[in-house]
C-alpha cells in the first residue's frame, strides 16, 4: 500500500450538526488523537470558524463524522485548500466513507503510522452566466443538476459540448456528474457507474420525454454549456444544496475543476468494487429477486 509522506500531526475533527451522537463521537476521536500527541481542533461542519481555519491553518487532515452528505460538505471545505478528508460513517450505507463507526480506533492507529494512501477525486467547476453577471464559481463533488422546480412539468434544455450542440432535452432535468457522482443521483437516474479514479464528465437526463434518453460520458477536457428554456420554474442545484432559480437567458458553464478532492484510504482500489457489491446486495430489488 502506498504510504503518505508523513503521519498527520494537525487534524480538524468535524461532525455534522444534525447527525445523532456526532458531537460525542467527535469528542472521542479528538481525545484519542490528543492522547497520541496530535494537535486537534474539533467542531461542527457549520461552525463559523471552520472555512477560514481550514484554508489558513492548513491542517494535515480533516476528519468528517456523518454520512455521504457530510463528506460532500467536508469536501467543499477542504478540497480548495488541498487538505485531505477522512470519513467516519455515522449514517447509512455510503459510497464515500470507508471507515465504519466501530472501526475508527484501528483506522486512526494506521493513520498515525502513515499506513494509508490518498485517493484523488475529480471535481467540477460551475458558473452561471446571467447577462453580464457571472454567479459562482461553485465547486462540485457529485453533480450539478438543472431541473424543474415545484411544478410537475418537464423542462426544455439544450446541451452543448465544446460549443457543438449535443442534444435538446425535454425531461425532468439533466445531471452533470463527476465519477464520484456516478454512484449518487446519476445512478438513481439510470446512469453508468464510473470507477472513482477516472476523470470524466457524465451527462444523465432525468425522466426524458421523447428526447435523448442515454447517458453520455465526456472527456475531462470537455466544456459543457447548458441553456434552459424557462417558461416555468427551473433551478440549478449543486451537490443537493439550496437550489438557484434560473431565468430565461441564463447559461450554465461546466468544466473540470482546478482542484481535486483527496480522500484518505486504507484499502487498495478494489475497496470500491467491494462497496458496490455490498450496495447491490442490499438493494431492495436485488433482495426481492433473491427470495
Joined together, the cell numbers standing for residue 13 give 475533527
Q: CA-to-CA distance for 26 and 62, rounded, in angstroms?
A: 12
CA–CA–CA angle 203, 208, 212 (5° rounding):
60
| Rounded Cα–Cα distance for residues 164 and 137 (Å) | 23
Burial classification of residue 59, based on how many CB atoms lie within 10 Å of its CB (0-12 exposed, 13-18 middle, 19 or more buried): buried
Nearest to 278 by CA among 179, 183, 177: 183
Polymer length in residues for the chain: 291
Q: Which of 24, 47, 60, 68 is catalytic?
A: 68
Question: The cell 428554456 sits on which residue?
Answer: 229
Closest CA to 224 of 80, 156, 124, 123: 124
Q: Are 118 and 4 in contact (CB under 8 A)?
A: yes
Handedness of CA 273, 279, 280, 282 (dihedral sign): positive
Q: Annotated catalytic, 68? A: yes
**Which among 117, 124, 259, 99 is positioned nearest to 180, based on CA atoms?**
124
Report the run of H or E that residue 155 belongs to, with start and end: strand 155-161
Catalytic residue positions, numbered: 68
Amino acid at each position: 500500500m502506498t504510504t503518505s509522506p508523513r503521519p498527520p500531526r494537525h487534524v480538524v475533527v468535524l461532525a455534522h450538526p444534525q447527525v445523532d451522537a456526532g458531537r460525542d463521537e467527535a469528542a472521542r476521536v479528538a481525545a484519542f488523537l490528543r492522547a497520541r500527541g496530535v494537535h486537534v481542533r474539533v467542531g461542527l461542519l457549520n461552525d463559523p470558524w471552520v472555512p477560514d481555519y481550514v484554508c489558513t491553518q492548513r491542517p494535515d487532515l480533516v476528519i468528517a463524522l456523518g454520512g455521504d452528505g457530510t463528506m460532500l460538505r467536508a469536501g467543499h471545505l477542504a478540497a480548495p485548500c488541498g487538505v485531505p478528508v477522512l470519513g467516519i460513517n455515522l449514517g447509512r450505507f455510503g459510497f464515500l466513507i470507508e471507515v465504519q463507526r466501530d472501526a475508527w480506533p484501528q483506522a486512526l492507529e494506521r493513520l498515525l503510522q502513515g499506513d494509508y494512501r490518498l485517493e484523488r477525486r475529480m471535481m467540477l467547476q460551475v458558473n452561471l452566466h446571467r447577462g453580464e453577471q457571472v454567479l459562482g464559481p461553485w465547486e462540485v463533488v457529485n453533480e450539478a443538476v438543472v431541473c424543474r422546480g415545484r411544478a410537475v412539468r418537464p423542462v426544455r434544455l439544450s446541451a452543448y459540448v465544446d460549443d457543438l450542440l449535443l442534444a435538446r432535452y425535454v425531461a425532468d432535468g439533466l445531471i452533470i456528474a463527476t465519477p464520484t457522482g456516478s454512484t449518487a443521483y446519476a445512478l438513481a437516474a439510470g446512469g453508468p457507474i464510473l470507477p472513482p479514479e477516472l476523470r470524466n464528465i457524465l451527462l444523465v437526463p432525468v425522466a426524458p420525454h421523447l428526447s435523448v434518453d442515454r447517458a453520455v460520458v465526456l472527456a475531462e477536457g470537455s466544456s459543457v454549456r447548458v441553456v434552459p428554456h424557462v417558461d416555468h420554474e427551473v433551478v440549478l442545484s449543486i451537490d443537493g444544496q439550496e437550489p438557484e432559480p434560473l431565468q430565461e437567458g441564463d447559461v450554465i458553464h461546466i468544466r473540470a475543476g482546478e482542484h481535486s478532492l483527496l480522500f484518505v484510504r486504507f484499502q487498495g482500489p478494489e475497496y470500491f468494487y467491494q462497496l458496490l457489491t455490498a450496495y447491490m446486495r442490499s438493494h431492495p430489488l436485488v433482495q426481492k429477486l433473491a427470495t
